[in-house]
Structure 1
């Protein structure tokens, strides 16, 4: 008879600062919060280290001329542990930002309460959903032209999309690549007119209208081309390229906080300008979860630093406000 394995009883953990999510923003927040003696708990999430764990070469991280994304995230996590942060292998499935202290529940069943919260859950790039696309991610398929464009100097690239991000990626790649194709499934672009004017004026860029990528082609080690389908006629064609950049948008990982924090129409958490403070006092957001423009590891790390420092100041203000005030002296005349 097979014995049933009992699940360990859930526990409740309290911290002054709870960091939800890892990656450059979460790990940096943990480092700074630890150095401020706030003893933070960091819940790593379903993908510890975030998007950089599926990135190969990183050449724009200050101090490293070249580093592997997973290695960089491992080092940042080790740094956070070294200065005293506790990293927990769990991911949050429920939060309550209406209570004090704030409360969160992990997939393990454990509960976490905190006097302040830093959200660093990031955003995920939208992909085309092709098996061949997944096979060549990191080997010529990318969702970040700013990150990886340098690797395609004097090569041929294609960008998929029709919005501002796609047009800006094509313009950025034109600084390095010998040729750039913009593949769009419609006959007009959604990008603003200024970006379109710059695109059409660039002789390195050619737009392929009414086309979708049906398959990414490669030699097993790197991308060699794509198979395109004309959306109007169904005709297929081959395009020889060295790199494919998917620029069809990102989805911020903010569903946990819907209805509790102010967000924009795309689901990004809104913060006070020049700050990481959200609409709920004591809750801060850092990294791609609130940044829809830059999406760079070094920017996320800077926001993680800001969030930790702002959480520290928030806790100091709360402690000062709740401290007993000395009685006023009564001076008799």
Structure 2
């Protein structure tokens, strides 16, 4: 028979948000269970150099940071389960989730930290040079391209914001868009067009990311003209794919409130969703910042929100106490 696991705090996702929630939940005595999902450790396990996470003087490795977070969570009492949730029932507490293994997970509270994945161009050279000049996060990796030539691929808000951000590090930024007009908000477009350090290549798409000899990483991009089919090459040191993100919220369609892009909606200033006892943290509810440190911060918030929720359930305020408080 498949196992049944019960906990006061069930956490989906094991990136910075999920593991931070686990640390705080464990320290509160809630014995959280973390279902690690398809990518244990989250996006940081595919990131090499990390230089913007507080507390480390030198560059650290993303996989190492996630190993340390998991070890800390387990040390204070969290339990890890290697499983992927395929079925969710939020109609009653305890919430009931079913894993691909057949195991059943019951949680008095549920913390959703399933994250979001960057959209990629899905060409072979992109995969080969990812982390060697090809990135999907200018805020994360732009610092490594100080004084170098960089290019951003995309035409929406994310692409324009990434291009503007990169001018803090590079004097030579190129925005590459496959159409002849941008989809970004007008105010962002105005800032882009006024910036002397950014040029735009219209009607171009990346045919190939070109690597250098040996371990040189990205050195150029081959671009295909979307109107003529002509191939041209530009020399670049860094290429930033900025065509959007996919929040991992498919399981919760029709069960939790989402915005038009599929991100979970939370009450401002909290991690509370529209279902009492269900909390969302990290990139699954954050379409603006999407950083490891902000994910960890909201993971902490989710654990504290869940702890308070359980306290109110376990020790409800009596009518007499309400009257005294109002007096």
Q: TM-score, normalised by structure 1?
A: 0.93
Q: Distance in 2 between matches of 1:192 and 1:109?
A: 46
Match of 2:130 in 1: 137
Instruction: Indicate yes or no: 2:34 matched with 1:42.
Output: yes
Question: Over aligned residue pairs, what C-alpha RMSD do you find?
Answer: 1.5
**1:203: Cα distance to partner?**
1.1
Shift of 1:99: 2.1
In the TM superposition, what is the alpha-carbon distance from 1:255 to its structure 2 partner? 0.2
Deviation digits for residues 71-120 of structure 1 (CA, Å, limit 9, x no counterpart): 00000000000000001111111111112210001111100001000000
In structure 1, distance between residues paired with 2:274 and 2:50: 34
How big is the shift at 1:322? Answer: 9.8
The CA distance in 2 between the partners of 1:169 and 1:127, in whole Å, is 15
SS in 1 for 2:310: helix
| Structure-1 separation of matches of 2:125 and 2:10 | 39
Counterpart in 1 of 2:8? 16
Indicate which of 13, 18, 21 corresponds to 1:29.
21
**Which consecutive unaligned segments of at least 5 residues does structure 2 have?**
321-327
Q: Does 1:101 align with 2:94?
A: yes
Residue 73 of structure 2 corresponds to residue 80 of structure 1: yes
With structure 2 as the length reference, what TM-score do the two structures score?
A: 0.95
Aligned equivalents of 1:320, 1:260: Cα separation in 2: 28
**How do residues 1-333 of structure 1 correspond to structure 2 at under 5 angstroms?**
9-65=1-57, 66-219=59-212, 220-221=214-215, 222-321=217-316
Q: Measure, in 2, the Cα distance between the counterparts of 1:45 and 1:64.
A: 28
Distance 1:240 1:185 in 2: 18
Question: Which structure 1 residue ranges, 5 or more long, are not aligned?
Answer: 1-8, 326-333
Displaced runs of 4+ in structure 1, greater than 2 A?
A: none
- Which structure has the bigger radius of gyration? 1
Deviation at residue 153 of structure 1 after TM alignment: 0.2
Write the distance in 2 (CA, Å) between the matches of 1:188 and 1:249.
Answer: 17
Match of 1:330? none
For these two proteins, the number of residue pairs brought into alignment is 318
Shift of 1:204: 1.2
